[in-house]
Structure 1
Amino acid sequence: MTGVVITAWSALTPFGHGRAAFAEGVRRGEPAAAVPTKDDWAAAHARVVPDFDIVEQLGRKGTSSMDRTSALAIATLRELVSEVDDAIGPRTGVVLGTTSGSTRTQFEFTRDSLTRRKPYLVNPAQMPFALMNSAAAQCAMWHGLTGPNSTVAAGRNSGPAVLRYASRLLRTGRASGVFAGAVEEHSGARELLEPGGGLGEASVLLFMQTAPGGNRPALAEVVALDTRFGEPRQALAGCLEHVLSGLAVDEVWGLATTSADPELAGVEREVTGEVLGRRVATVVRPGHLVGDTGAASGVLGVAALLAAAAADVSARDRFAVATSVDRDGTAGAVVLRLTGSPHELRGEG
């Protein structure tokens, strides 16, 4: 047991804005629609957050050069901050997972440095948003958070990596609460780097605290997590065997396999089937529902389990597992113990 709990969460996904929209999409189990997208780099069909205009969402001040990644994270945090405002203090921090930040902004800034007339007249206001830690920094500045501020660049394995980092901040007393999550935008630039279609975008944040603290009941306790590197199948199997050590299979209520890549999704299904068997009551596949959300996929798996548990009172005091695996051979697994009260699990609170 880590002594760290999740007390609230929110998300912006192709299902819509906020926790309720994503939870409804998970419960319905039908994939979000892919829509035509186009920018300077490439055209595609992708699952994107609907009706998300940066200026309309955040206003004109400070957004003229803002990247979509930062805007998605700020807007997600806005809903969560309003919910847990009483728990925010001077040591409340932010930990965000990413692949590399805003790919589109990085492409555009690089292009301008090569194509604009000398002395290389790039847009200086765009520079902060070309950095991979832009989203975390902007979240803190927009919402007045003065605790630790960190970015974890772990790609599709950002879920367990972020939860591990946030848990360490809390257990060592460096933070009193942490907004932990990940964000990945869709863009034509990302389509060029990850061809093949099926891309999506999402921003998801969990509010994490130490178990004794907080003025609201915990939704789940982070029981164990592990990350490994190697051949994907072996790495994921090693993670699962480690985090599930001491647990009986029939204690596991839910499973989230997060990959949208057909090959990696197959690896997750096979490995989890071998380790857990076929008796897990609830299985959610956010990659199937909202597309390849990159760094956001692992945390989205955790959120999907919380959403599914809210509709099933039998989930209380049982365990749920979220897995992740990336093409580079990194893999991870997170085990939660669902601790919400019955009315919360039914979604009535």
Structure 2
Amino acid sequence: MTGWATTSPYGRGAGAFADGVRSGVPAPAVRGADDWFPEPEPAHLVPDFDIEDVLGRKGTGSMDRGTALAVHTVGLLRAEVGADGRTGVVLGTTSGSTLTQFGFTADSLTRRRPYFVNPAQMPFALMNSAAARSAGWHGLTGPNTTLAAGRLSGVAVLRYAGRLLRARRASGVFAGAVEEHSGARALLEREVGNTARLGEGAAVLFLRPASNGNRSAVAEVVATGTRLAADGEVRRALVECLRQTLVGVAPDEVWGLAVSGMDTMESDAVREVLGTRIDRVVAPGRLVGDTGAVGGVFGLTGLFALAERSDDAHGRVAVATAVDRDGMVGSVVVRLLGVRGVR
């Protein structure tokens, strides 16, 4: 990883996110306006993010908020890392823009025959809108992929990007995730029993092959792993996953941990494997809300933000874990090098 950028409820850019994580103070929660939720709940929204103001009027008339967040965040990073035309884009999501999907479906049922939907909305109702538009907007002609991995998106995009680089399908990869907030998404989350305060944002990492010998590397991906808790024993599945990814890592090498959930199960599983206490624990859910697919990448960038001001982080290991409600668990192990993100 040679760079990272975020657009989060703390603001635009890695600087705002890093300051927020280091302060430990949750980002403000506000009520948004949404036709799909009669009494909008407070949520951690990206402040002052008007699509036309940020990206301009051309090509944004029907753009959904999630796609705009992704396009903007990739743009922040692209300006710094010197990507060429063979650069790929791999973005994780839960299901794309729920609000656009709800609206397009409603129009197809309620507008007069022959169902005069807005055709300009159709591309943004598709799950791959954010990745496809980010690549087109910034002239990136390498592989372009969307992974519907939910809370395991951080693990999934790093694994996929690694395969692209090893196969020499791309010179570099923008790998990250995006999630927008809307009343439509809130309705679905409440329907499945999720009572957490929701959030939104985008986080993107830039990956290059390790053989390039880039001296400005942020971190090196050591291992990724996933498990399915088919028997419902989520903690046991996570412990097994961590044992796989932490093979060869001594307990005193682990500098920090990022967890996807707001309970203690994930950090307890890490302690069970390592037999030691980890003092630096980043829980994005406590700071920017449940950001769905972005939570895992926010966890990694949160660790990078803390490591930037730490004297003992260089060369040590950070661990990020993820647990999804369908029983999937995952973990990522990275070795911290330089850690500065795009300001």
TM-score range, shorter chain: over 0.9
Shift of 1:337: 0.5
Matched, 1:132 2:127: yes
Distance 1:82 1:216, change over 3 A: farther
For residues 6-45 of structure 1, the C-alpha deviation after alignment (integer angstroms, 9 at most, x for no partner) is 0000000111110000111111111111111121111110
User: Percent same amino acid at aligned positions?
Assistant: 61
1:10–1:206 CA contact under 8 A, matched in 2: yes
Q: Distance in 2 between matches of 1:103 and 1:17?
A: 23
The secondary structure found in structure 2 opposite 1:167 is helix
Q: Distance in 2 between matches of 1:256 and 1:191?
A: 24
Output the amino acid matched with 1:226: G
TM normalised by structure 1 equals 0.93
User: Which residue number corresponds to residue 157 of structure 1?
Assistant: 152
For residues 212-271 of structure 1, the C-alpha deviation after alignment (integer angstroms, 9 at most, x for no partner) is 3265511100000101111321221111111011211111001011224xxxx3321332
* RMSD across aligned positions (CA): 1.6
**Residue 31 of structure 1: which of 26, 30, 54 is its match?**
26
User: Which residue number corresponds to residue 93 of structure 2?
Assistant: 98
User: Which residue number corresponds to residue 205 of structure 1?
Assistant: 204
User: Which residue number corresponds to residue 283 of structure 1?
Assistant: 281
Matched, 1:76 2:78: no
The secondary structure found in structure 2 opposite 1:315 is coil
For residues 119-175 of structure 1, the C-alpha deviation after alignment (integer angstroms, 9 at most, x for no partner) is 111110000000000000000010000100000110011110110000100011111
User: Which residue number corresponds to residue 109 of structure 1?
Assistant: 104
Q: Which stretch of the first structure deviates more once superposed, 246-255 or 95-104?
A: 246-255
Matched, 1:273 2:271: yes
1:39–1:188 CA contact under 8 A, matched in 2: yes
1:142-221 alignment to 2 at 5 Å? 142-195=137-190, 196-213=195-212, 216-221=215-220
User: Which residue number corresponds to residue 59 of structure 2?
Assistant: 62
Output the amino acid matched with 2:217: A
For residues 262-314 of structure 1, the C-alpha deviation after alignment (integer angstroms, 9 at most, x for no partner) is xxx33213322322344223111111110000000111111111111111021
Q: Distance in 2 between matches of 1:61 and 1:338?
A: 40
Output the amino acid matched with 1:300: F
User: Which residue number corresponds to residue 10 of structure 2?
Assistant: 15
User: Which residue number corresponds to residue 250 of structure 2?
Assistant: 248
Output the amino acid matched with 1:270: D
1:191–1:197 CA contact under 8 A, matched in 2: no
Write out the 4+ residue segments of structure 1 that deviate beyond 6 Å after TM superposition: none
Q: Distance in 2 between matches of 1:154 and 1:234?
A: 21
The total of aligned residue pairs comes to 334
Output the amino acid matched with 2:252: D
**Residue 42 of structure 2: which of 41, 45, 48 is its match?**
45
**Residue 261 of structure 2: which of 256, 259, 267 is its match?**
259
Q: Which stretch of the first structure deviates more once superposed, 217-226 or 251-260?
A: 251-260
User: Which residue number corresponds to residue 3 of structure 1?
Assistant: none
Q: Distance in 2 between matches of 1:32 and 1:276?
A: 32
TM normalised by structure 2 equals 0.94
- Gaps in structure 2 of 5+ consecutive residues: none
